Amino acid sequence: AQSVTQLDSHVSVSEGTPVLLRCNYSSSYSPSLFWYVQHPNKGLQLLLKYTSAATLVKGINGFEAEFKKSETSFHLTKPSAHMSDAAEYFCVVSDGGSYIPTFGRGTSLIVHP
């Protein structure tokens, strides 16, 4: 079985400050983990993906995430937020037991000028 928990429904930061979006997962197999971003009235765009290679994954737009098996976490970070980063972010887990990925409930990132 697989599940994913996004620990914050909303995160608010100032432009130029670091971003941290938290995600914990559970999986019966070696999981693949994803972060997607969704801007208003748009589809979901892949930010980055972990598939048992390097534990620190770099994605688009300066985002990165670190896979920590001991903590069952896959937190998303960015050193400096831009106004254009304001969006909904989804953490997703997919393991060898299912072809149906499991989505978190989403974290809304708010960026203040």
**Residues in touch with another protein (CB under 8 A):** 32, 34, 36, 41-46, 49, 51, 90, 92, 94-101, 103-106
Query: Which C-beta is closer to another protein: that of 25 or that of 106?
Result: 106
In the complex, the smallest distance separating the C-beta of residue 10 from another protein, rounded to whole angstroms, is: 12
In the complex, the smallest distance separating the C-beta of residue 36 from another protein, rounded to whole angstroms, is: 8
SS3 state at 57: strand
Query: Which C-beta is closer to another protein: that of 70 or that of 99?
Result: 99
Q: What are phi and psi of 61, to 5 degrees?
A: 60, 30
72: exposed, middle or buried (Cβ count in 10 Å: 0-12, 13-18, 19+): middle
Residue 26 CB neighbour total at 10 angstroms: 14
Which positions ≥6 away from 86 have C-beta within 8 Å?
A: 109, 110, 111
Query: Which C-beta is closer to another protein: that of 16 or that of 96?
Result: 96
In the complex, the smallest distance separating the C-beta of residue 80 from another protein, rounded to whole angstroms, is: 25
In the complex, the smallest distance separating the C-beta of residue 102 from another protein, rounded to whole angstroms, is: 9
Query: Which C-beta is closer to another protein: that of 85 or that of 95?
Result: 95
Q: What are phi and psi of 40, to 5 degrees?
A: -50, 130
